[in-house]
């Protein structure tokens, strides 16, 4: 396996927050990705094709060429000011949604520049929170390097949920599916360290490889380490058996077969504090982005500066995301 990872520190970035054209009860109004590309090289990763929009045959570019968006913090500061008027339940962002910032190579390259883009991002959210512009951050990672930020994350624990991904509780299987991630036991230590500092940790079994008892084992083990929430999703687009047999060269050279037409399935019986509707179900009226005519599922708020003109009253089922256990803010339809 030959691997050379290249880092590009880029000033070319048009925005920090990406407003989502559609999000269901399990999704988020905004995402923020400080980097594009990820050297963890999970075989099932579909960011290269669907999100980073890497052309066919160029998957290697995603796994071996990481671009860091250096201007994100200054853009974010301006965007948060512009979006301060949004209803509270829309001020939610998932960070690291399509690429993991917490890569050793990214952290080292930024240290040489005396920069830490993620810390700068956190400081900006913290500054706006102190001024009354409250956001909820969902920070997704598979890396122990998130512990570099344990100090500031602990200060922000009322406005942060950390989401640690696991594909399986079995470390031998993990090695077959993710080339360069940290071992399962190390990831559980991260869950434990974050939880001991009072941070809310969600386990993201997405995509999960295994049966229901494997998933229950992962949930029990992680909750014993302090996790409080669990979210899961089955594999889409690929087949587990084919992925297990795939070499690194085959992965980066796009020798991977797509499976189409599979539903985006979740096991709701194990999900907890991750967007499930409360029982008994209740609906309330909240302001949500207007849907484009003729495109029933698409939310029309691509021009974030005009979002106040694009909100309409909608019925929304009340969901549990564990917010009420970390924050006294009224999040509308989200508890
Ligand atoms: S950690 Fe996430 S972004 Fe990185 S390769 Fe794995 S699935 Fe893709």
Q: Tens digit of pLDDT for each residue in 4-62? A: 899 999 998 889 999 887 788 899 999 999 999 999 999 999 888 776 566 666 788 89
Q: What's the predicted TM-score (pTM) here?
A: 0.94
State mean pLDDT over 152-178.
Answer: 97
pLDDT of amino acid 302:
54
42 Cβ below 6 A of ligand 1:
yes
pLDDT greater than 60 at residue 295 = no
pLDDT of amino acid 249:
93
What are the structural domains of the chain? 10-276 (3.20.20)
Q: Of 28, 112, 110, whose CA–CA distance to 69 is shortest?
A: 110
Q: Of 330, 333, 287, whose CA–CA distance to 308 is shortest?
A: 287
102 Cβ below 6 A of ligand 1:
no
40 Cβ below 6 A of ligand 1:
yes
Give the length of the chain.
335
Coil, strand or helix at 32: strand
pLDDT of amino acid 20:
85
pLDDT band at residue 88, thresholds of 50, 70 and 90? very high
pLDDT of amino acid 245:
93
pLDDT greater than 60 at residue 175 = yes
**Atom 4 of ligand 1: nearest residue by CA position:** 38
Q: Of 160, 181, 182, 170, whose CA–CA distance to 229 is shortest?
A: 160
96 Cβ below 6 A of ligand 1:
no
99 Cβ below 6 A of ligand 1:
yes
pLDDT cut 70: percent of the chain above it: 90
Structure-token pair, residue 123: 């400081």
State mean pLDDT over 194-208.
Answer: 97
Q: Tens digit of pLDDT for each residue in 215-238? A: 999 999 999 999 999 999 999 888
Least confident of 57-66, 96-105, 117-126, 208-217: 57-66
More confident residue, 275 or 308: 275
d(CA 20, CA 53): 16
């Amino acid at each position: 396996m030959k691997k050379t990872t290249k880092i590009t520190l880029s000033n070319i970035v048009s925005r920090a927050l990406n407003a989502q054209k559609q999000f269901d009860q399990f999704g988020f109004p905004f995402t923020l990705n400080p980097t594009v590309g990820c050297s963890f090289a999970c075989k099932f990763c579909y960011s290269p094709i669907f999100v980073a929009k890497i052309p066919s045959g160029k998957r290697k570019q995603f796994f071996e060429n990481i671009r860091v968006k250096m201007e994100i913090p200054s853009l974010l500061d301006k965007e948060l000011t512009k979006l301060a008027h949004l209803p509270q339940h829309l001020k939610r962002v998932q960070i690291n949604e399509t690429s993991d910032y917490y890569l050793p190579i990214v952290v080292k390259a930024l240290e040489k520049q005396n920069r830490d883009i993620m810390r700068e991002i956190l400081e900006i959210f913290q500054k706006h929170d102190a001024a009354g512009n409250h956001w909820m951050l969902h920070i997704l990672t598979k890396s122990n390097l998130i512990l570099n930020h344990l100090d500031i994350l602990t200060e922000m624990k009322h406005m942060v949920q950390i989401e640690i991904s696991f594909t399986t509780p079995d470390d031998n299987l993990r090695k077959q599916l993710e080339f360069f991630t940290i071992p399962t036991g190390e990831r559980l230590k991260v869950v434990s360290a974050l939880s001991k500092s009072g941070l809310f940790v969600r386990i993201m079994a997405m995509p999960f490889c295994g049966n229901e008892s494997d998933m229950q084992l992962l949930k029990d083990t992680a909750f014993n380490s302090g996790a409080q929430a669990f979210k899961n999703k089955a594999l889409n687009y690929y087949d587990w058996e084919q992925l297990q047999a795939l070499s690194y060269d085959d992965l980066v050279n796009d020798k991977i077969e797509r499976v189409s037409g599979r539903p985006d399935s979740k096991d709701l019986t194990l999900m907890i504090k991750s967007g499930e509707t409360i029982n008994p179900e209740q609906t309330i009226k909240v302001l949500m982005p207007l849907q484009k005519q003729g495109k029933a599922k698409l939310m029309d708020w691509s021009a974030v500066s005009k979002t106040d003109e694009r909100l309409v009253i909608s019925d929304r089922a009340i969901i549990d995301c564990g917010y009420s256990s970390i924050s006294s803010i009224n999040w509308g339809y989200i508890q």
